[in-house]
Structure 1
Amino acid sequence: MNQYPLWKNLLILGVVLFGILFALPNVFSQDPSIEIAAARGHEVTAATADEVRAVLENAGVPYKVVEPWSEGKVLVRFPTTGDQLRGQEAIEARLSDRYNSAMTLVADLPGWLRAIDAQPMYLGLDLRGGIQVLIDVDMEAAVEQGLERYTGDIRSLLRQERVRYLTVMHEGGQITVKFDDAEDLAEGQEVVAREFRELQLDTERDGERFELHARLSPADEEQLRTFALQQNITTLRNRVNALGVAEPIVQRQGERRIVVQLPGAQDPARLKEILGATATLEYRLADTEGSVADAVEGRVPVGSRLYYDREGQPILLQRSVIVTGDQITNASSGFDQTSGLPAVFVNLDSRGARRMRQVTTENVGKPMAVVFIENRTVTRMIDGEPVKQTVRTEEVISMANIREPFGRRFQTTGLDSAEEAHTLALFLRAGALAAPIQIVEERTIGPSLGQENIDQGVTSVLFGLAAVLVFMALYYRVFGLVANLVLLTNLVLIVAIMSLLQATLTLPGIAGIVLTMGMAVDANVLIFERIREEIRNGSSPQASINAGFAKALSTIVDANITTLIAAVILFSFGTGPVKGFAVTLSVGIFTSLFTAILGSRAVINLIYGGRRLSKLAI
């Protein structure tokens, strides 16, 4: 009686060993490191590591190792954070024109743990340190961008309906359409009112000409502002997730601000580059009637803009944009099947697809250009000091005749490398910023403060654990020692699962672990008290053990399910630290059920199972 089959014992042992293996990375220290990746137009090669070594050695900066890290990246490990800072300065001063570098912390794991992809838990901002920034969203620019889109749409609509007009422009918070006579004005007003019912229209006579004014209502303006803020939050969250920043917190603060917390980030300049970077595409028709030579000399035709391609050749394009990056719903990188060159495959939303199909249908055989737009931060040496500057790039990467109409899905070529295609697809997929942003406040929490929080949190866990272990051993004797063993196993399994999920541990998360330990030992208390009750009722020791586990099971499951429901609600509606607490609590509930019901029963079966007993040490 009270014996598990061999397979069940082996299964429990395998789970415990699995937990120990994947909890082990959290024991190792973390090295201050620098991750180096290629800038646009360049690539990381086998010689990159040698270049980095030479720069560090010439600057007299000690380092542990320079090694290939992931595809297209090199990692440099340093003995101290001071060496890391000096190394970052040396690398930026010498290599920032070809490579991007970011400071980070990397666990110093042995090769066999890295081979099985075992990683430590992420630590939250309060434990690991990191950067918090407060971002202001330019709401006025969001409204202006919205009016600019309406301007292009109204211009296209009037052309489609063959309504004669002079100009369409927007300024002063409204769109103005000028006509030659009252009949064209009336026809234009009717067409615009039918298609854009959300716009408020009025007319005015200016000398011999007639004007139609269109503006957004206050409610529509507010809706546009709210959408811009929400879109920026989504874009920033997608961007830092896609770029590998672990568990960022991106949330709204007030009417026009966004707070971003990035645990483990140590380089504010790199963070600004990630958050503020824009890489998008615009599709424009070429101006085949205007003179490129005149445009180069400063006489750009009305309705056109002068651009340059990557070879420095001038190209004249129409000012009207066919589609922009905010109409792109998905993007992926690959290679063109015909030429084998890097390409980005683009999907448009329904409105962008209709617009693209309409324009390409009307302009078959005419050239269309793809304009690449990017804002990025570079470091330049000015008076012997490294100075970071923002550089805006607008260049034509592709110019080709429209062979046939196309709409929702197509591809764009003309990129320098597969890495650039991948990066561009990443930014397009993350979405365009709906409005410009400005970082108005920046706080850096040092790892020393985080280490103090970790030390205090670990101390609290150890004190709580020690008190529980002593009480259980004294009060329940052998059974108490069993409970202590499974309690320690429970802690190991929580850490292992958090590491496997790459979940983030915060101070509230540590509180969740302490609470979980109390709940785990509570399950053992229910079982042991039930066994005592069965013994008092005259049952045999073996029958008491069996009845104790069987009759306490429903109570333990019910208590844990109700707690799990609360944890799910906390995770669903909470943010930041509340979610951290909910995650550790949820993981702890499942591990507690496993260790308290199966783990403790397996150990007690090994000690007492299959034996004739006169009493139990409980």
Structure 2
Amino acid sequence: MLQIPLWRRVLIWLLVAMGLWFAMPNLNYTTVERHNDALADIELLPEGADIPAELAAARDAWPGFLPATLVNLGLDLRGGAHLLAEVQVGDVYERTLDGLWPSVRDALREIRDQVGSIRRQDGKLDVLRVRISEPAGMSAALQAVRALSQPVVTLTGVGAQTLDVSSDGNDILITLSDAERDAIAERTLLQSLEIVRRRIDEVGTREPTIQRQGADRILIQVPGIGSAEELKRLIGTTARLTFHSVVSVTGNGDQSPGARNVIYPSLDDDGQFYILEKTPVVTGENLTNAQPAFDQNGRPAVNFQFNPTGGRIFGQYTAENIGNPFAIVLDEEVITAPTIQSHIPGGSGIITGNFSVESSTELAVLLRAGALPAEMVFLEERTIGPELGADSIEAGRIACLVAFAAVLIFMAASYGWFGLLANVALILNVGMIFGLLSAIGATLTLPGIAGIVLTIGMAVDANVLVFERIREELKTAKGPSRAIELGYEKALSAIIDANITTIIAAIILWVMGSGPVRGFAITLGFGIITSVFTAIFVTRLLIVMWYERRRPKTINV
């Protein structure tokens, strides 16, 4: 006899209801999307700031107690921006050597009686050249500088040192070893990938594709961005924050800054240029936090906090330079150059300037994400318009409807009432697929739609096996109840075997593939799982409920 315990019936309907519950927001896609964007924008507002009416209206348009996770639309469906960037690793090599100069100078000063005077020489950017006045002390100088070298921290660089130190007459030549250059290149690319990902995620864009391409390139694809220029404005900002001692202020940008100095324009574009010491006192790498705020005059600003190392350096400098100007530089532009009024302990401060609320918020986001370790040059850029995405969605929608209608008609024509019950399960199956995709925040691409269409075609395979088996059992003159029970029992192994092979193929596609291939694998895999569930459990439960209600003496499948 057909028997399904009450607890199992409740569990089956509960799982179906959960799938449909998570799929429900996709029926009001635009409203829920605006609701989510409004929540993200509200989180970025300064604490205690009034929420704009537009954001409040968008937030309240969708009830907060309902799920708000959506199936994200990929670049090919929604449109967006595509960039291929090349990371300028050479910049990091130069900064690493430049940052090494204070340590080299201090090491040589300890043996000044042997090396004489110490002067840094201009030359190639990838070589740190230091001249000493006493050739007899060259051996001691080389030994002192080589002591600054450290083991390279990579698996491929075991036993190698970070620096190559040699002499050329009275000059000490310091370069990065090949192992250290490889290690720096690897760290720079990984750091750039992570920083780009944090920047894009924090401003609320959904499901970007950020992948490494080759040795020094990054592929960036972001759905929903209006243009490649908009994406470049965000990613292309290095956001390298540095703090420099001010040498002088001038109105001539072509003036020579002098040895070991640089000249940077004012961010306010007021015609002023600042001559600064080239080596910064402290950099944004020592920042631990940055938040939009307001200064004592109520103007937008940015609060920042250093880590203990940066706080100690910053506090010591301010204590020793009271009354002197101090320049805060962002990407080689002077934001502000206030005069140090007193010692600033604790490693915290405020950046003021000609900010709006939006620009101060954006700057805080960039500083929290961290500075890009090197400039990125965009080799390829293109924008996929929403019109193309809309065409793709329409084509996919038509394909889904045609496949869906064909399967429904076939099942109803082939198996009658049992086919209609299978069609109900098929409709629930599609809803559960979207519920699963929404629950994990998956991205739906055009190949993903193809996976759903394929799933619709395959979804009734299990029902076909069961129904054909029931037909065979009815020919043996068994009662309808026993025929239905045996049909499900004997078809189960064939159903599991057939779908396991497809699941294995989907897993291989997901592991070995990337981008759209993974999208296809995810929708196919989820479709197989929900199809087997609805065929073995939901359709069977519907048939049992029908049989318990009607108690037919004979059935015709």
Fold shared, TM-score > 0.5 on shorter chain: yes
1:2–1:546 CA contact under 8 A, matched in 2: no
Bigger mean CA deviation after superposition, 447-456 or 224-233: 224-233
1:524-539 alignment to 2 at 5 Å? 524-536=463-475, 539=478
Deviations 1:147-187 (A, max 9, x none): 32333543455467878652235631211112121354333
Match of 1:447 among 375, 383, 386: 386
Q: Is the 8 A contact 1:41 1:420 kept in 2?
A: no
Q: Where is the strand percentage greater, Structure 1 or Structure 2?
A: 1
Partner of 1:261: 221
**Corresponding residue of 1:180:** 133
Deviation of residue 247 (structure 1)?
1.8
Shift of 1:190: 0.9
Aligned residues between the structures:
527
> Partners in 1 of 2:385 and 2:358 — Cα distance?
33
Percent identity between the two aligned chains:
33
**1:126-275 equivalence runs, <5 A:** 126-155=76-105, 157-158=107-108, 165-168=117-120, 171-172=123-124, 173-196=126-149, 197-205=161-169, 210-218=170-178, 220-275=180-235
Write the distance in 1 (CA, Å) between the matches of 2:474 and 2:30. Answer: 43
- Amino acid across the alignment from 1:69: L
User: Secondary structure of 1:189's match?
Assistant: helix
Question: Given the alignment, which residue of 381, 394, 415 partners 1:476?
Answer: 415
Query: Residue 487 of structure 1 contacts residue 521 of structure 1 at CA under 8 Å; is this kept in 2?
Result: yes
Tell me how far apart the structure 1 counterparts of residues 434 and 45 of structure 2 sit (CA, whole Å): 42
SS in structure 1 opposite 2:147? helix
Pairwise CA distance, 1:268: 3.3
Q: 2:27 aligns with which of 24, 28, 49?
A: 24
Question: Which residue does 2:350 correspond to in 1?
Answer: 413
- Given residue 145 of structure 2, which amino acid in structure 1 is its aligned partner? V
Q: Under a length normalisation based on structure 2, what TM-score does the superposition of the two structures give?
A: 0.76
| 1-structure distance, mates of 2:422, 2:430 | 12
For residues 210-250 of structure 1, what are the alpha-carbon distances to aligned partners after superposition, in whole Å with 9 as ceiling and x for unaligned?
A: 21011234554455445434433332232222222222222
Q: Retained in 2: the 8 A contact 1:520–1:592?
A: yes
RMSD: 4.8
Report what 1:366 is aligned to: 320
2:284 corresponds to which residue?
Answer: 325
Question: 2-side partners of 1:343 and 1:320: how far apart?
Answer: 23
1:195 aligned counterpart, secondary structure? coil
What is the one-letter code of the residue matched to 2:94? Answer: E
Contact 2:85 2:219 in 1 (8 A): yes
Contact 1:296 1:306 in 2 (8 A): yes
Q: Deviations along 1:129-149, whole A, 9 cap, x unmatched? A: 222233333344343233323
Q: Name the CA shift for 1:110/1:303 in 2 (closer, same or farther; >3 Å).
A: closer
1:71-92 CA distance string (max 9 Å, x none): xxx98xxxxxxxxxxxxxxxxx
Residue of 521, 524, 538 corresponding to 1:599 = 538
Alignment partners' CA distance in 2, 1:497 and 1:168: 63
Structure 2 gaps of 5+ residues are 150-160
Distance 1:291 1:129, change over 3 A: closer
- Corresponding residue SS for 1:265: coil
Q: Structure 1 469/166 Cα, relative in aligned 2: closer, same or farther at 3 Å?
A: same
How far off is 1:306 after superposition? 7.4
Give 1:217-616 correspondences, 5 Å limit. 217-218=177-178, 220-283=180-243, 286=245, 303=260, 318-326=277-285, 331=289, 333=291, 343-347=303-307, 356=310, 359=313, 365-367=319-321, 372-374=328-330, 392-396=333-337, 399=340, 410-414=347-351, 423-536=362-475, 539-550=478-489, 552-553=491-492, 556-557=495-496, 560=499, 563-609=502-548, 612-616=551-555
> 1:472 & 1:293 partners in 2: Cα distance?
83
In the alignment, structure 1 segments of 5+ residues that lack a partner are 49-66, 76-108, 348-352, 376-390
Amino acid across the alignment from 2:143: E
The 1:528/1:580 distance shift into structure 2, 3 A limit, reads: same
Cα 1:150–1:271 change in 2 (3 A) is same
Q: Which amino acid aligns with 1:543?
A: R
Distance 2:314 2:231 in 1: 39
Tell me the CA shift for residue 424 of structure 1: 4.0
* Alignment check: 8 A CA contact 1:332 1:422 kept: no
For residue 254 of structure 1, report the CA deviation from its aligned partner: 4.6
Between the aligned partners of 1:169 and 1:277, the Cα distance in structure 2 is: 31
Contact 1:4 1:605 (C-alpha < 8 Å) held by counterparts: no
